[in-house]
A and B are shown apart, each in its own frame.
Chain A
Amino acid sequence: MGKTFAEKILAQKAGLAAVEPGQIVTVKPDLGMSHDNTAAIAKLFAKIGRKRVREPEKLVVILDHVVPAASVDYAQNHREIREFVREQGIRFYDVGRGVCHQVVVEEGLVGPGDLALGADSHTPTYGAVGAFSAGIGRSEMAAVWATGELWLKVPTTLRIELDGALPELVTPKDVILHVIGRLGADGALYRSVEFAGPLAGRMTVSDRMVIANMAAEMGAKNAFFAPDETTLSYLSARTDRTFAPVFPDPDAHYEGTVRFEVGELEPQVACPPDVDHVVPISEIAGKRVDQVVVGTCTNGRIEDLRLAAEVMAGRPVADGVRMLIVPASREVWLRAAEEGLLALFAEAGALVLNPGCGPCLGAHEGVLAAGEVCLATSNRNFRGRMGSPDAELYLGSPAVAAAAAATGKITDPRQLI
């Protein structure tokens, strides 16, 4: 019987010949990532009784969640993190470099055959470049710092086959929202999810990141796209490392295989307060919006900004609407500036913010008041996620966001082109 990607890579990282789903294994991760939570992890680490992290060269810290600091308390948090990474010799990216997941991929810090653990729930994003990556908690990251290892349960695997040609202005975001709507918020709970099929093979790294990122919203432990020429050419421009890709066996045993044909897919919108409350845009069109956000680790890449600009097509942001543009990284910000996109958004009346998580987690830079409605390209629409628990948050693609900004209501972007 063949093995899935998760079974093969977890066996390898645990130093075992083979593992079975349900088995608990102790693995040595190749990368441990944390962000603004690093000071809190450092306090837990100190309580373990260790002075030095075991393998600083395997760690990275990226400040992104509340950047630049929005209060004295946040500033103190960042200051403690800067001191800690300096003392410990940990690779560090300060405020302004970008959202952690975008930076990890852009910097080529993970690739095919790597195992990464991150103290953030959207760590499955790195499956877009063929890595096994999963989110863990703060205590667990402190344990990785102290011991260089962590236990993981070998998951069963769900295979999702994507086929068909995406209609114009229908994007990978619409695909993954549709999948989550169909499978549910716990549809992939505890599972490894392998995305395959002809459409997955044609996708860019950016496209795959959108999908792997949001696999977390159906409970997945990790997501995986088989590394190919697309992956390797993306990484070869960014790192000199050589990778040892791991692929699932052709006769691997899957817990289930689900096939999605996207040729007729409409733009999709996730309605509050759950990511699996997904409807085709025709069912929610006309809903008034107060704020639109284009950005985040889900949809803040150059491809996303280009798409939003294409849909705006020179139209101004509608009266009474605030449009926030949050490039996912400095690289994206600079590229968007070079291409004239930032100026185009600003001229339309949008507010271009610094790279980072922006308002996605409800801490700063555009939180919502009670009764306000927002359409965002982010990954969560939970109650209170972007500010007041009495605000409404809808999720959609950059094309849907741009159409909402231009019209002041949720609108099928295909009506604007």
Chain B
Amino acid sequence: MIVGRAWKYGDNVNTDVIFPGRYTYARMEPEEMAKHALEDLDPSFAREVKPGDVIVAGRNFGCGSSREQAATCLAAAGVGAVVAKGFARIFFRNAINSGLLVLEIPDAVDAIQSGDRVEIDTENGVLIHEGKRHPFPPLPDGVREILAAGGLIPYLRDRLAKEG
């Protein structure tokens, strides 16, 4: 169960504003990346985000660069999930591979405002906001396994270790 406060943004939130290019090729650990999360969109985010908080956004979240730090920095900042009307494809993959839950629930996006309390029950596939239940389809098994392992790298480490 994920419980947190909503941070709401608009359409086409791109990877440059999530994690600026001036840091992209600097060597940096995830904890440091978290300090720059959403820096060029909302400088208050990295200072005030709490573990379990949920980013709520419109269409095409994460468009632009393939930089995986755009997902890593949000996961390291403790973001519980990103709920959007849609995701850019590389960001969507990077998020799952970083162990960051990403959900397309358009009607919930319309209802939720910044600061609202949001609960997400991944077991039962439902987001709860102000008493209203917004169901979402179950995650595919492959995605669920990668998320459960904490991302693609730990997932592969375990799988390859078993295969020997």
Which residues of chain A have C-beta atoms less than 8 A from B65's C-beta?
Answer: 120-121, 361, 380
* Structural contact, B161 and A49, CB atoms closer than 8 A: yes
Bound complex: CA A146 to CA B158 (Å): 13
Contact string, B109-152, partner A, CB cutoff 8 A, digits 1/0? Answer: 00000000000000000000000000000001010000000011
Option from B64, B98, B140 in Cβ contact (under 8 Å) with A139 = B98
* Structural contact, A380 and B86, CB atoms closer than 8 A: no
Stretch at the interface among A35-43, A287-295, A313-321: A35-43
Option from A66, A136, A151, A274 in Cβ contact (under 8 Å) with B25 = A66
Interface residues of B in 46-64 (CB under 8 A from A): 59-60, 63-64
Option from B22, B66, B90 in Cβ contact (under 8 Å) with A362 = B22
Which residues of chain A have C-beta atoms less than 8 A from B152's C-beta?
Answer: 139-140, 142-143
Interface size band for A:
35 or more
Bound complex: CA A146 to CA B159 (Å): 12
| Minimum Cβ distance to chain B for residue A183 (Å) | 12
Which residues of chain A have C-beta atoms less than 8 A from B98's C-beta?
Answer: 139
| Minimum Cβ distance to chain A for residue B23 (Å) | 9
Contact string, A105-128, partner B, CB cutoff 8 A, digits 1/0? Answer: 000000000000001110100000
* Structural contact, B66 and A135, CB atoms closer than 8 A: yes
Bound complex: CA A207 to CA B7 (Å): 42
Among A36, A76, A138, find the residue whose CB has the most chain B CB atoms closer than 10 A.
Answer: A138
Interface residues of A in 173-198 (CB under 8 A from B): 185-186, 189-190
* Structural contact, B157 and A189, CB atoms closer than 8 A: no
A248 located at the interface, meaning its Cβ lies under 8 Å from any Cβ of chain B in the complex: no
A98 located at the interface, meaning its Cβ lies under 8 Å from any Cβ of chain B in the complex: no
Interface residues of B in 26-73 (CB under 8 A from A): 26-27, 40-41, 59-60, 63-68, 71
A50 located at the interface, meaning its Cβ lies under 8 Å from any Cβ of chain B in the complex: yes
Q: Which residue of A lies closest to B90 (CB)?
A: A135
B106 located at the interface, meaning its Cβ lies under 8 Å from any Cβ of chain A in the complex: no
* Structural contact, B160 and A48, CB atoms closer than 8 A: yes
Bound complex: CA A237 to CA B142 (Å): 43
B2 located at the interface, meaning its Cβ lies under 8 Å from any Cβ of chain A in the complex: no
Bound complex: CA A406 to CA B63 (Å): 33
How many A-B residue pairs have C-beta atoms within 8 angstroms? Tell me. 131
A383 located at the interface, meaning its Cβ lies under 8 Å from any Cβ of chain B in the complex: yes
Contact string, A249-274, partner B, CB cutoff 8 A, digits 1/0? Answer: 00000000000000000000000001
Interface residues of B in 68-87 (CB under 8 A from A): 68, 71, 86
Which residues of chain A have C-beta atoms less than 8 A from B59's C-beta?
Answer: 186
Contact string, A299-335, partner B, CB cutoff 8 A, digits 1/0? Answer: 0000000000000000000000000000000000000
Given contacts A40-B27, A382-B16, contact A140 B97 (CB under 8 A): yes
Bound complex: CA A389 to CA B41 (Å): 9
Option from B22, B66, B154, B160 in Cβ contact (under 8 Å) with A121 = B66
* Structural contact, A151 and B27, CB atoms closer than 8 A: no
Among B21, B40, B151, find the residue whose CB has the most chain A CB atoms closer than 10 A.
Answer: B21
Bound complex: CA A74 to CA B21 (Å): 13
B103 located at the interface, meaning its Cβ lies under 8 Å from any Cβ of chain A in the complex: no
* Structural contact, B68 and A151, CB atoms closer than 8 A: no
Q: Could you list which residues of chain B lie within 8 angstroms of chain A, going by C-beta atoms?
A: 12, 14, 16-17, 20-22, 24-27, 40-41, 59-60, 63-68, 71, 86, 88-90, 93-94, 97-98, 140, 142, 151-154, 156-157, 160-161
| Contacts A119-B66, A137-B94, A186-B12 known; 17 new A-B pairs at CB < 8 A | A73-B27, A77-B25, A120-B65, A137-B97, A138-B68, A139-B98, A139-B151, A147-B156, A219-B89, A221-B89, A361-B24, A363-B21, A382-B16, A383-B41, A384-B16, A385-B21, A387-B22
Please list the 7 inter-chain residue pairs (A to B) with the smallest Cβ-Cβ separation, ordered nearest first: A186-B60, A137-B94, A361-B21, A384-B40, A362-B21, A137-B68, A121-B66
A/B interface sample: 7 pairs, CB < 8 A: A47-B153, A73-B27, A120-B65, A137-B68, A139-B153, A219-B88, A387-B22
Q: Could you list which residues of chain A lie within 8 angstroms of chain B, going by C-beta atoms?
A: 24, 36-37, 39-40, 44, 47-50, 65-66, 73-74, 76-77, 119-121, 123, 135-140, 142-143, 146-147, 151, 185-186, 189-190, 219, 221, 274, 361-363, 367, 380, 382-385, 387, 389
